[in-house]
Structures are given as C-alpha cells and as structure tokens.
C-alpha cells in the first residue's frame, strides 16, 4: 500500500504535538505540548449536552441559533455587523473551519504569510491546498512584530496572511498598532486575513483581544475562525465556526458539508447554552490566563532545576 500513497501523504510527517502528548501520557509526565484547558467545563453546558442526547438531537443538524448568538456577540464585542443567515459557517472545531477557509481561497502557488512561531496545523492546511507558507519571524522576548520585515514578505503572489491572536504558543496579544500594520499590508496587497481567535477570552496581564476585522476596510477581507474549545474547556466537542463575507462563508460551509457534513448535533445544542453565558463567566477566564502563565513558568523553572542536576 505504501506505493499507493499520494505525494502529499508521503511528505506529511506525524504531528509533533501528538507525539509529545502520547509520550507524556505514556510516561505520566506533565504535558506542555498540547493546548487544552485543565479546568472542567461548566456544569450547565454539560447538562445541556446530556439533555440534547436524551431528547434525540442525534442526527445531522445545523443549529441556526448558534449563528444568531455569534452575530449578537460580534456586534456587542467588536461593533461588527454580521448577517447570521449568510456570514457564518458552523464547522467541526476551529481546525476544520481554518482548513475550509484555506481551501476556499488558496490556489496552487499562492503564498500565505505565517508569523513564526506558529501552530503546526497552519502549514499543513496550506500545503494541502497547494499554497506556499512564507514565515515572518516575531522578535523575542516579547514576540513583537517588525513592520519592515512584514512588508518585505508581501509579494504579488501573496493571497492571505494568518493572524493568531491571542497567539499560540507564546500567549502574545497583538497590539492595536501591530494590527494596523497588518491591515495596511492586507489593503495594499489586496490580501485576505484569516484569523484564529480561539484564545480570545484567555489573555494575560489585563490585555484585551481585538479582532483585525474591526479595522477600516478589513471586515470585507477577513475570515475569523474560533470555537468553544478553549473558552469552555471542551476541546473534544469539536464545535467551531468561521465568520466571513457571505461568498467566503458559503464556500466554507460547502467544503465543510463535503468533508464532515455536520458538527456534532448534541454539542451544537449545548453550544447555545455556552454562548449565552453571562459576561461574568468570560471575565473569570482572564484569571485562568494568569494561573496558566504562572503554572507554565513554574514548570519551566522546575525543568531547568532538574536539567541542572543531571
């Protein structure tokens, strides 16, 4: 069978995140590789999922109420007017929403800008679509954006830029000035911004996330992807979405239907309960971000002490 594999399959290597996660599980080690919350999902949304299953919401389904609620949230949080009937696609997690977004706009040979370091899934999706990843390094230790370096990375073949903020793996929240620079590049080179905003409510040091879509001239050239996963500690439920201009949202929805047909029905029902959570719930997640940061720094220090003793 090996000889029958496609060239894409042959060039794909195992996920380093999954390999490290399996190794951590095997060795009973602390897993710093995979980005999943270590706090339980709210009881009310677990109860909503159980209720949906018991009420036989177990077939193919698209819950329009999710789109309605997301449109309300985008207006209240970012001041964006989103049509819930045409501008939102429900997908199997942010990962599928992102992949479908890439497949909907990238042609063979198109270049896509990625900020380095970045989540490993991005490159794989771009490669599958025939695109060419182009890396733009962020400057440590604060992972700042060098405007000149970014602008030099745009070419006539650049089709899109991927913006992950709050950022995985660094936790960086792109500042308004940095968003303005990225937006200027998109407008100048007529590029699409594809965002990954799954950590939108989990930020450090009282920083506030803003979507680049709210900047002048950007909503019509931005595809926002996000999910329930991090906000509600349900990474295994696979409920995500893309918010985009109607033509792109339709294309993403069509690709989603061809690949997976429907996001899990009972978890879509539970998503309605989750998205209607009071504002106080989302505010508490900033405290989670602080605890996560402290835990990470503690584990790094512990590792360094162990390394020094070996």
Which carries the bigger pLDDT value, residue 14 or residue 86? 86
Domain containing 167 equals 43-277
pLDDT at 78: 97
> Does the pLDDT at position 167 exceed 90?
yes
Give me the pLDDT at residue 309, please.
61
Name the more confident of 297 and 216: 216
- Token pair belonging to 39: 């706090």
**Could you tell me the pLDDT band of residue 105, with boundaries at 50, 70 and 90?**
very high
- Does residue 181 belong to any structural domain of this protein? yes
Position 101 scores a pLDDT of: 98
CB contact set of 112 (below 8 Å; sequence gap of 6+)? 102, 106, 126, 131, 132, 133, 134, 158, 159, 160, 161, 162
- Domain-located, residue 255: yes
* 1 located within any domain: no
pLDDT at 310: 56
Within-domain flag for 8:
no
Q: Evaluate whether residue 176 is within a structural domain.
A: yes
User: What is the pLDDT, as a whole number, of residue 298?
Assistant: 65
> Is the whole model's pTM more than 0.75, yes or no?
yes
Q: Is residue 286 exposed (0-12), middle (13-18) or buried (19+ Cβ within 10 Å)?
A: middle
- In this predicted model, what pLDDT tens digit does every residue of 74-83 receive, in sequence order? 999 999 999 9
Burial of 74 (0-12, 13-18, 19+ CB in 10 A): buried
Residue 288 lies in a domain: no
Token digits of residue 229? 């996963």
**Number of compact structural domains in the chain:** 1
Residue 48 lies in a domain: yes
**Residue 291 pLDDT:** 61
CATH number where 57 lies: 3.40.640.10
User: Has residue 84 been placed in a domain?
Assistant: yes
């Amino acid at each position: 069978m090996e000889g029958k594999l496609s060239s894409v399959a042959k060039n794909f290597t195992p996920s380093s995140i999954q390999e490290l996660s399996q190794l951590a599980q095997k060795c009973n080690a602390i897993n710093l590789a995979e980005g999943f919350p270590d706090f339980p999902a709210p009881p009310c949304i677990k109860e909503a999922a159980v209720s949906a299953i018991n009420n036989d919401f177990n077939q193919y389904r698209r819950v329009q109420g999710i789109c309605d609620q997301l449109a309300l949230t985008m207006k209240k949080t970012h001041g964006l007017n989103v049509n819930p009937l045409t501008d939102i696609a429900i997908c199997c997690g942010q990962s599928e929403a992102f992949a479908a977004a890439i497949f909907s706009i990238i042609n063979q040979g198109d270049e896509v800008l990625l900020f380095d370091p970045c989540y490993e899934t991005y490159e794989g999706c771009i490669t599958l679509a025939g695109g060419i990843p182009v890396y733009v390094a962020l400057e440590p230790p604060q992972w700042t954006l060098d405007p000149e370096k970014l602008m030099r990375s745009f070419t006539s073949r650049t089709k899109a830029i991927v913006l992950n903020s709050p950022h995985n793996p660094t936790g960086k929240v792109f500042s308004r000035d940095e968003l303005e620079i990225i937006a200027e590049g998109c407008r100048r080179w007529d590029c699409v911004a594809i965002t990954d905003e799954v950590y939108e409510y989990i930020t450090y040091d009282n920083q506030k996330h803003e979507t680049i879509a709210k900047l002048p001239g950007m909503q019509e050239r931005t595809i926002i992807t996000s999910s329930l996963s991090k906000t509600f500690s349900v990474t295994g439920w696979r409920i995500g979405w893309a918010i985009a201009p109607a033509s792109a949202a339709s294309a993403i929805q069509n690709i989603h239907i061809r690949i997976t047909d429907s996001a899990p029905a009972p978890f879509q029902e539970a998503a309605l309960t989750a998205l209607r959570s009071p504002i106080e719930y989302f505010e508490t997640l900033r405290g989670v971000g602080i605890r996560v940061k402290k835990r990470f720094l503690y584990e790094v220090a512990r590792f360094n002490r162990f390394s020094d003793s070996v």
